[in-house]
């Protein structure tokens, strides 16, 4: 039992060290990001059951907010492209007053590029964002296109 506790503590410290070393861009790097726009393709907000039965009960509308500005709306278990001011910004998704926002950590939005943001299930009815490559995003969007809506 003591060995298990030591291993657990060791693994916890390693994971915390990994979080602490996550790079934050310097002020010079942030300055280079300014002055352009980034095409952000957001997809996801599906629960695993949606993919299993190829049906979702309903699709709710979420508002995408980047750097305090409403960028547009997206339906859950869907996909959409947005034009975002490039930079290093916090962002979140708001759902029509029924629940708390889905906050994302500060992210880099690179000028003149297309970036793919996968909103994947994180457990307990929550979602987290992850930048993915174009081919992974295309596969994910193709899967979402096969999901019907019940109501």
Cα angle: 26, vertex 90, 97; to 5 degrees: 175
Residue 2: what pLDDT?
Answer: 38
- pLDDT higher than threshold 60 for residue 100: yes
Q: Each residue of 59-96: pLDDT tens digit?
A: 999 999 999 999 999 999 999 999 999 999 999 999 87
Residues 110-122 have a mean pLDDT of 97
pLDDT confidence bin for 145, thresholds 50/70/90? very high
The CA distance from 53 to 77, in Å, is 13
DSSP character string of 60-116 = -EEEEEETTEEEEEEESSEEEEEEEE-EEEEEEEEETTTS--EEEEEEEE-TT-EEE
With CA atoms as reference, report the closest residue to 102 among 17, 45, 143, 35: 45
pLDDT tens track for 13-56: 333 333 334 578 998 998 889 999 999 999 999 999 998 999 99
pTM score of the predicted model: 0.81
pLDDT band at 116 (very low <50, low <70, confident <90, very high): very high
């Amino acid at each position: 039992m003591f060995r298990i506790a030591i291993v657990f503590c060791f693994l916890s410290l390693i994971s915390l060290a990994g979080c602490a070393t996550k790079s934050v861009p310097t002020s010079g790097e942030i300055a280079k990001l300014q002055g352009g726009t980034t095409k952000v393709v957001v997809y996801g907000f599906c629960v695993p059951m949606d993919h299993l039965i190829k049906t979702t009960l309903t699709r709710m509308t979420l508002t995408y907010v980047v750097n305090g500005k409403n960028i547009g709306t997206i339906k859950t278990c869907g996909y959409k492209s947005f034009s975002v001011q490039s930079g290093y910004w916090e962002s979140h998704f708001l759902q029509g007053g029924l629940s708390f926002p889905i906050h994302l950590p500060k992210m880099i939005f690179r000028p003149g590029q297309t970036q793919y943001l996968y909103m994947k299930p994180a457990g307990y009815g929550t979602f987290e964002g992850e930048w993915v490559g174009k081919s992974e995003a295309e596969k994910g969007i193709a899967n979402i296109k096969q999901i019907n809506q019940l109501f």
